[in-house]
Copies of this chain bind each other. A is one copy, B any other.
């Protein structure tokens, strides 16, 4: 529990009291804006006065060392991202805050489960070390399912005992998205040990399409919230988080849940959102704008974005604009005066009493991002160079064609379908058939040098030539590649290897058209978020040049390696039928 604290020394308290009494000037005064009353509802004209890290007045006027005229603006509490994998922004926490703090996100609840799949406990320790240095308040929910399944090879395994190390850390709120629903229902020892090990802490949920008595059983484990639920009544006492990521976009569907009654038990979250989308549309501010566009009242949306999420997760020191609370505040301006539907711009952000300055954040990241690394001196890619022999798919019988299982992808969905197609065979090996959009997909184990390579076929990318590859492949983050031919496949995987982690697009000659190095765990860049966003845009353009028809080919590729989401997926150990929770052969028998 984090109740109101601020500077906890008697001197600090004395300074706040003197400022509040008007005996000394406040550090900052936001004067004359419309201030949100999170407890009572509505906006009221007044001044927000700040001393140190805390609010000391939310109504009366004060003298301030810095006075900011907020006439015509609205002052709301800093936004909370209630569930995020910072790694999915392709940025270190120092770069992530650079992208989101100026947009009003002052607190984020981080499940560092991508880096934990790569580096295990060391990855979580790195996340905690970074969190101690950022101005953005990063609280950690410890990844509960590393790896997600027994069907793949992750960089590390975290059992209940390994997770216990983090329980008492002041930034740790509990256990992150407990994806292992079958483990709970089957009363699996390790699953129950993880859950009971965090009894009395938050144990967050992840229960897409789980209903009825199975959901009841899952909730008996003390599950707290869920970013995969679609109805409050169906969530049965779980806090529903309204998500708008780069791939999973639920906000338009879920925002109608927001009303006066529910606004204190809902939160907003980004989950997985790339830097290009953050730059183009926004972060939590974007979800609020989506709600405003639907005609929802601003006082409800701003309440959900700050207070709803903060209180639901036990953060009692923020989310309210009143004396004694942390001075996390956002000054917003309607794009069209008098019309919230048209959205707003963030004019100023106060984080713990300090005005957020984009240049300062950039300088801080420049000097700090590289100084903290998850595992010193370790390469991200521990695998030998590949050649075409690694990706051969042997046909079962001597025939011009082979009937194969093919993964069918869909734009904007993490779900895939299983299809069966006849694919050409040459010299006993099944071939891709780009003319019919039948491509090869491969996952190469990159953590332990096992040489594991899973190879299959995929439809829906539309690549006419070349290949896309990345060291991002949920959740184990092996090197994942989609290719129109084997030469490009080999070149793309080896290019990712040579980058020591990153994302590439290569043409049919094996030439790299676009690339992004991700030196931190093969997941994150040290570069400025705008540089990374440019690189993402460039990679997308290159994919289109190769004939790709998807908006988010790299993200979608990365989720084809995640065997907890139906129907047909692929890991470094082979093709997985998710419903059967087991491997299946690429080439159908008989």
Contact = CB atoms under 8 A, between A and B. Distances in A.
A476 interface: no
Interface stretch (A57-65, A135-143, A558-566): A57-65
8 contacts: A3-B200, A10-B196, A17-B187, A20-B219, A40-B262, A51-B220, A216-B323, A314-B314
A117 interface: no
A203 B5 CA distance: 10
Contact of A3 (B16, B40, B314): B314
Interface in A342-390: none
Given A21-B185, A21-B214, A41-B262, 17 more contacts: A1-B200, A3-B201, A20-B220, A22-B213, A37-B232, A39-B233, A39-B235, A40-B261, A49-B216, A57-B216, A219-B324, A221-B324, A236-B322, A237-B325, A259-B260, A260-B261, A311-B311
Contact of A202 (B3, B10, B202, B221): B3
Given A189-B10, A261-B260, A216 B56 contact: yes
A327 B188 CA distance: 25
Contact of A187 (B18, B174, B221, B323): B18
A13 B217 CA distance: 9
B60 A17 contact: no
A6 interface: yes
Given A40-B233, A57-B216, A216-B60, A200 B17 contact: no
A320 interface: yes
B237 A323 contact: yes
CB-based closest 8 A-B pairs: A237-B322, A1-B1, A219-B323, A8-B199, A20-B217, A260-B260, A264-B264, A4-B222
Contacts of A38: 237
Given A20-B216, A39-B265, A213-B21, A223 B3 contact: no
Q: Which of A13, A14, A22 has the most CB of B within 10 A?
A: A13
A169 to B, nearest CB: 14
Contacts of A2: 200
Given A237-B58, A260-B261, A265-B264, A232 B322 contact: no
A237 B44 CA distance: 14
Interface string A202-216: 110000000011111
B260 A196 contact: no
Nearest to A321: B237
A293 B325 CA distance: 36
A217 B21 contact: yes
A13 B3 CA distance: 29
A220 B316 contact: no
A57 to B, nearest CB: 5
Q: Which of A10, A44, A174 has the most CB of B within 10 A?
A: A10
A106 B323 CA distance: 32
A193 interface: yes
A351 to B, nearest CB: 19
B58 A222 contact: no
A85 to B, nearest CB: 22
A202 B174 CA distance: 21
Contacts of A220: 6, 13, 16-17, 19-20, 51, 54, 56, 323-324
Nearest to A200: B5
Contacts of A316: 224, 314
A237 B21 contact: no
Nearest to A215: B323
Stoichiometry (number of copies)? 2
Nearest to A265: B39
A192 interface: yes
Interface in A435-491: none
A17 B185 contact: yes
A30 to B, nearest CB: 15
A525 interface: no
B37 A233 contact: yes
A63 to B, nearest CB: 12
Q: Which of A22, A212, A219 has the most CB of B within 10 A?
A: A219
A3 B174 contact: yes
Contacts of A213: 20-22, 57, 60
Contacts of A17: 184-185, 187, 217, 220-221
A323 B205 CA distance: 13
B200 A236 contact: no
A270 interface: no
Contacts of A73: none
A3 B222 contact: yes
Contact of A6 (B222, B311, B324): B222
A236 B4 contact: no
A263 interface: yes
Contacts of A54: 220
A232 to B, nearest CB: 4
A221 B13 contact: yes
A224 to B, nearest CB: 7
A3 B195 CA distance: 12
A223 B5 CA distance: 10
A549 B14 CA distance: 48
Interface in A221-274: 221-224, 232-233, 235-238, 259-265
A233 B44 contact: yes
A14 B187 contact: yes
Contact of A237 (B1, B195, B196, B324): B324
A10 B4 CA distance: 34
